Amino acid sequence: MHNCQRQDYIAGFPMHPHRGIETFTFLSKGTMIHEDHLGTKAVIHDGEAQWLTAGSGAFHSEMPQPSKRMLGLQLWLNIPAKDKMKAEPFYHGVVNSEIQEFDLENGKLRLLAGNYEGHQGIQGKYLPLDYYDIHLNPNSKIELDVPGENKSIMVFTLEGDAIVSGTHVDEKTAAKLGDGDQLIIESGNQPIEIIYMASDKLNEPVAWYGPIVMNTREELIEAYTELDSGDFIKQQATYENKE
């Protein structure tokens, strides 16, 4: 999810449900308050993220606070079919104090989740996720080793146009990558901020409607029936946020 127009996000995202996924919300610029159905509350600031495991069912809200600029991105990470209704809701705030930062020759890389050259960031319980926030100065590049087979890899140009393995990618555009041994990201005459995301392919059927992602139409119908009846929440959530 990515909203480029101020009118699309200024009202925020009031309390709403999720099931069957994890959401990883990265905020490059701005401030946002998260609240969930248990009354937990957390704030993320410039450069921070939040990881919500919705699992069997969660309600939460994400409300932007007054800021000079809001710039962010939300990734939905599917949960394996066998775990969707077993996964306990869980929240983790990824704050700046626990984000490792690596100097590049002409920029920097921030490890928000997963692994980078043997360095380990936070990780979820269900699917692995490598999530890098990469900043490059003008006319610079970075080369990344691409994981092996059965991987889903994507980049998103948050600020500035980029050249991704020889292909021009406009600002605020997602590019899904094919198989390969190496990824080369290059900037032009302007600095860029680009997000790198990699995880395992599930190779399972997907049934998606609104904020709920299941595997069959019947499971979707059941989820929305439970929303209407008030039986949506199955497990108590766990909250963790490091200040």
Per-residue pLDDT tens digits for 167-194: 999 999 999 998 776 899 999 999 999 9
Contact 81, 204 (CB under 8 A): yes
Give the pLDDT of residue 35.
93
Please name which of 142, 145, 94, 136 lies closest in space to residue 117, comparing C-alpha atoms: 145
- pLDDT of 242 > 50? The answer is no
Give the pLDDT of residue 12.
77
Contact 113, 121 (CB under 8 A): yes
Percent above pLDDT 90 for the chain: 78
Give the pLDDT of residue 69.
85
Percent above pLDDT 70 for the chain: 92
Give the pLDDT of residue 198.
96
Please name which of 25, 47, 28 lies closest in space to residue 91, comparing C-alpha atoms: 25
- pLDDT of 243 > 60? The answer is no
Residue 60 annotated as binding site: yes
- pLDDT of 36 > 90? The answer is no
Give the pLDDT of residue 11.
66
- Categorize the per-residue pLDDT at 2 as very low, low, confident or very high, splitting at 50, 70 and 90: very low
In a domain, 221, yes or no: no
Lowest mean pLDDT among 19-28, 81-90, 179-188: 179-188
What is the number of domains present in the chain?
A: 1
Residue 16 annotated as binding site: yes
- Categorize the per-residue pLDDT at 6 as very low, low, confident or very high, splitting at 50, 70 and 90: low
Strand partners, 41: 35
Give the pLDDT of residue 234.
84
C-alpha 79/C-alpha 214 separation (Å) is 9
Residue 18 annotated as binding site: yes
In a domain, 238, yes or no: no
In a domain, 18, yes or no: yes
In a domain, 218, yes or no: no
Contact 158, 128 (CB under 8 A): no
In a domain, 15, yes or no: yes
Please name which of 169, 43, 33 lies closest in space to residue 96, comparing C-alpha atoms: 43
- The model's pTM is 0.90
Strand partners, 157: 194
In a domain, 208, yes or no: no
Average pLDDT, the chain: 91
In a domain, 230, yes or no: no
Give the pLDDT of residue 182.
85
Q: Domain span at residue 34?
A: 6-200
Domain of 124, CATH number, reads: 2.60.120.10
Strands 151-159 and 162-164, bridge-based pairing: unpaired
- Categorize the per-residue pLDDT at 232 as very low, low, confident or very high, splitting at 50, 70 and 90: very high
Contact 196, 24 (CB under 8 A): no
